[in-house]
Amino acid sequence: SVPLEKQVEYGFRLCLTRLPRARERAYLTELFRTQRKRFLTQPDRARDLLENRDLSQGAAAELAAWFYVASVLLNLDEVITKG
């Protein structure tokens, strides 16, 4: 299993072609943890967001949390204006 911080770093690099600063990594890691916790307590919201009722509670919470992290990454000015 890959540590969460490394997963965040990988996603960040895919979007921004650079490594995240410590503050950026910490923010995105905390965002993931907060959203995952929220979706674990509200599994139907996670399944609705993903439009998939067949996922287990844990899998749905994890994917829904990544949805929010990806949304933040893809909406950064640095991503939108790069290139």
- In this prediction, residue 22 has a pLDDT band, given cuts at 50, 70 and 90, of very high
Q: With bands split at pLDDT 50, 70 and 90, how would you rate the model's confidence at 12?
A: very high
Contact predicate 68/31, CB 8 Å: yes
Are 54 and 68 a contacting pair, CB within 8 Å?
A: no
Alpha-carbon radius of gyration of the chain: 13
Task: List, for residues 25-70, the tens digit of each pLDDT value.
Answer: 999 999 999 999 999 999 999 999 999 989 999 999 999 999 999 9
pLDDT at 20 over 90: yes
Residue 21 confidence class, pLDDT cut points 50, 70, 90: very high
